[in-house]
Structure 1
Amino acid sequence: MTSNPDLNPRPQLDWLAAPPEPQPATPGAPRVLPWVVLIVDDEPDVHTVTRLALQGIQFRGRPLELLGASSAAEALAFVQQRHDIALILLDVVMESDDAGLQLTRVIRETLGNLLVRIVLRTGQSGQVPEQRVIVEYDINDYKAKSELTSRQLFTCVIASLRAYDSLLSLERSRRGLEKVLEASMELFKIRALNDFASGLLHQVGAILGVGSEGLLFIKRDQSDELAVLAGTGTFEAADLGEVSRRHPVALAAVWRALEERSHRVDTGGMVIYVPGAGASHYVIYATPGESLAPHDLQLLTLFCERISTAVERLSLFEALRRTQTATVLALADLAEFRDDTTGEHVMRVQDITDAIMAELQRMGAYADELSPEMIEYAGLASVLHDVGKVSTPDRILHKPGPLDAEEMRIMRQHAACGGQILAKALDMSGGQGYLLYARQIAAGHHEHWDGQGYPEGLSGRAIPLAARIVAVADVFDALTHERPYKKAWPIKAALSYLMERRERQFDPLVVDALVACLAHGRPSWAPPDLPGEEPTPAA
């Protein structure tokens, strides 16, 4: 009877017995990552026969990459440098009787690497009892060299790689889900649709662990048109026409994904279809698209589905914000119309307010007051700073000359009146949003830093920051633009006026912020400088 070569006790010959046939690579196929196997043994012959036994083996279409170390110290250096080692074939007795066991403990407990599969191979099984080692050390298999044939080694390696792949998939899924949650939370903080769309593309790259470049498209059911919401990398600021000219293949893939309502991934890029919560559909086109694992595609799908509702809500929010802005401007125009000025003044005050807030933030000033909500809303709220003038009689508003004491008393009532009007609206809206800052500004932009203003005689930081900012913005714009009762001042004269009243009428840091804005370069809201003498301001 012929003996079974797998049971032959001669280890040196049986290592070479019947190795699996190598599987030839397909011509033109993309490069695939190998399974990294680390052989750790102080006997050179063991390295040689192990490499021969594993020559040509492939698992799930991926070859093996064999690394060699002759000591536990050398092996530890490999493990610290390479985070893709799937399997360690580890000798026990090397520079010490338990070098392999101590290395196992360092890998598991010190490095925290629980993924790599560790198979102990020992030529002195009596010195290292299997039962005790399996219980006390976090290893995955135990083999005596004298009993390990080439076929048994093949089985051991494939089983270990299969276990490693399963654990790695679970770990990638766990990390991917964490990234999805983190990315979603970051995106939900963004209030502008374009910023949201751009952030979405960057987060797609973060989830995949690559620096993806891409485009986010939107297609609405009631339209045959496709629109670009955002682009990153080489696609940044690209519109549909540019995409059509420069990236026709990408655009064709996007239309195909919309028609099939499915994802498409190839070496040219990946196209992720995202159904919207309403009558909209979104498509992400991103590069690179090669070697996208199935679990990566699942994570992207999960992420996109999670944020699709947010995109819809943000679109509605932007539409609502546009309507809100239009309503606010209409109210401001009503007040300004009665004051014989144009709506351009309130728009400039809004721009100056936004610029001063940005500069204060850069300076690190008033961090406790300059909240993200204030930065978002105070600019819009500033256009209502004189809404209280709707209560001021025309004979006073339109008087060409100076006001007498009684007329000035009536004129000054517009600040308190504006605050009362907006306070009622604020109560109806739930006490938050732009109306909160609009009330503060309308009631407080004539208060003075030294307490000599009106209507409440507030001083210093008791005056809301939004009102202190608009006080400077309003006066600066009024001085530098022509009014029926005065000519426009040069910017230098207007700044001198503000500096003279710094720490008396105006918050000094707010004045400094305005000066810094103008020093950085002439903003779009700054008027052209005018030659001539500096006029004396009206009282």
Structure 2
Amino acid sequence: MDNLFLFADDTNPAEQTDSVAPFQVLIVDDDEEIHVITKMALNDFELDGRSLEFTSVYSAAEAREILSQRDDFAMMLLDVVMENDHAGLELAKWTREELKNKMVRIVLRTGQPGQAPEEQVIAKYEIDDYKEKTELTYRKLMTLMYSSLRAFRDLQAIENYKSGLERIIIASAEIFNARSMNQLSQGILEQLVALLTRSNTAAYYRIDGFTASCDQLQPMHIVAATGAYIEKIGNTVHDLIDTDVVEKLNLRANPVDFEIIGNTYYGMYKASANHSYLLYISGITELDPTERKLLDMFMNNTAIAFEHAQTYANENE
């Protein structure tokens, strides 16, 4: 591929897997050609198995509208001069100060560097990089994407750690309360996923036994989840997982066992004849011994705690 960004090859878009969400990138520029060239140049980009998904807007006003509605953008490639000479700078300031969005990585791009000197812009505005469009060769653009998206990924992991810790602290006050157990497992799961995977997509199920033949699932309730599955907590859900894998795990002799299918982890803990617990995490391709031990401990300890909480509740009815 030519070193110049303007001559990036026009290849087919990278295929996205169903279980690993792409990074969301917002392009804000009043020049249609910039949108086309940027998408062509980054067509095959991947980080941690995640590709890119682009949203294009052509003015700062349009960008304000979409940023007010969505908080999932990992990166914003932002033109300086649009409606006026400082539209991009004003949008960057609004995003950080009024919208309070500290997560999105903001990269200013300008075709008129004299309008906004780099040193002044970096010092005054909370942006992550500043580039002249003429200097953005293909290789420099790729380097920019890797550094910016890695920074976003790590910030997102820190936020997940904080969220999980908060839930654990709240839950610790009444550890034998069933509601508190849900909160505790939710908090631990959020921290585990942040530590072990970049996808932030996981669900923790309680399985209310199998049929007499031990090969057919009874109802499965999600008791904790991250990412897109959070809204399904408390529901009986089968369609998110490969039930054949779950049934195979159930037939094994070990009380704790797992399978990794594709990039999805299935871990099962058989607490009793009546209850099993299933941990589903997408975005994991391999685990080192320490990571496996952490997941086994999560399944073992939370399952036992749920069973104790249920016993405690029954005794106090």
TM-score under structure 1 normalisation? Answer: 0.42
| Structure 1 partner of 2:47 | 59
Q: Given that residues 115 and 168 in structure 1 are in contact (C-alpha distance below 8 angstroms), is that contact kept between their aligned partners in structure 2? A: yes
Q: Does 1:15 align with 2:15?
A: no
Higher relative contact order (CA 8 A, sep 6+): 2
How do 1:110-121 residues align onto structure 2 when only pairs under 5 Å count? 110-121=98-109
- Give the number of equivalent residue pairs: 279
| Structure 2 partner of 1:135 | 123
Q: Deviations over 1:127-176 (max 9, x none)?
A: 21211211221111110122222221122122212221222222223223
1:259 corresponds, among 223, 229, 254, to: 254
Offset, 1:21: 6.7
Q: Does 1:271 align with 2:267?
A: yes
| Structure 1 partner of 2:163 | 175
Q: Given that residues 277 and 303 in structure 2 are in contact (C-alpha distance below 8 angstroms), is that contact kept between their aligned partners in structure 1? A: no
Distance in 2, Cα, partners of 1:69 & 1:248:
44
Offset, 1:101: 1.4
Distance in 1, Cα, partners of 2:297 & 2:65:
38
- Which structure has the bigger radius of gyration? 1
Q: Given that residues 183 and 203 in structure 1 are in contact (C-alpha distance below 8 angstroms), is that contact kept between their aligned partners in structure 2? A: no
1:101 corresponds, among 65, 68, 89, to: 89
Q: Deviations over 1:35-63 (max 9, x none)?
A: 22111112222223222322333333222
Aligned pair in 2 of structure 1 residues 68, 283: CA closer, same or farther (>3 Å)? same
Aligned pair in 2 of structure 1 residues 311, 39: CA closer, same or farther (>3 Å)? closer
How do 1:355-374 residues align onto structure 2 when only pairs under 5 Å count? none
Distance in 2, Cα, partners of 1:184 & 1:264:
31
Q: Deviations over 1:476-500 (max 9, x none)?
A: xxxxxxxxxxxxxxxxxxxxxxxxx
Distance in 1, Cα, partners of 2:306 & 2:36:
59
Q: Does 1:291 align with 2:282?
A: yes
Q: Does 1:123 align with 2:111?
A: yes
Aligned pair in 2 of structure 1 residues 260, 272: CA closer, same or farther (>3 Å)? closer
Q: Given that residues 269 and 285 in structure 1 are in contact (C-alpha distance below 8 angstroms), is that contact kept between their aligned partners in structure 2? A: no
Amino acid at match of 2:68: Q
| Structure 1 partner of 2:149 | 161
Question: Mind listing any 5+ residue stretches in structure 1 that lack a counterpart?
Answer: 7-13, 218-224, 236-246, 322-375, 378-539
Q: Does 1:35 align with 2:31?
A: no
Distance in 1, Cα, partners of 2:208 & 2:95:
43
Offset, 1:249: 5.5
Question: Which of the two has greater strand per residue?
Answer: 2
Aligned pair in 2 of structure 1 residues 159, 303: CA closer, same or farther (>3 Å)? same
TM-score under structure 2 normalisation? Answer: 0.67
2:206 corresponds, among 197, 214, 218, to: 214
Distance in 1, Cα, partners of 2:180 & 2:165:
20
Distance in 2, Cα, partners of 1:84 & 1:251:
35
Q: Given that residues 10 and 40 in structure 2 are in contact (C-alpha distance below 8 angstroms), is that contact kept between their aligned partners in structure 1? A: no
SS at match of 2:51: strand
Offset, 1:92: 1.2
Distance in 1, Cα, partners of 2:308 & 2:136:
63
Amino acid at match of 2:37: V
Offset, 1:254: 3.1
How do 1:193-342 residues align onto structure 2 when only pairs under 5 Å count? 214-215=206-207, 232=221, 233-234=235-236, 250-256=246-252, 259=254, 261-264=256-259, 266=261, 270-273=266-269, 283-285=276-278, 289=280, 291=282, 304=299, 307=302, 310=305
SS at match of 1:103: helix
Q: Does 1:88 align with 2:76?
A: yes
Identity of aligned residues (%): 35
Offset, 1:253: 0.8
Question: Mind listing any 5+ residue stretches in structure 2 that lack a counterpart?
Answer: 191-199, 222-234, 238-242
Aligned pair in 2 of structure 1 residues 298, 52: CA closer, same or farther (>3 Å)? farther
Question: Which of the two has greater helix per residue?
Answer: 1
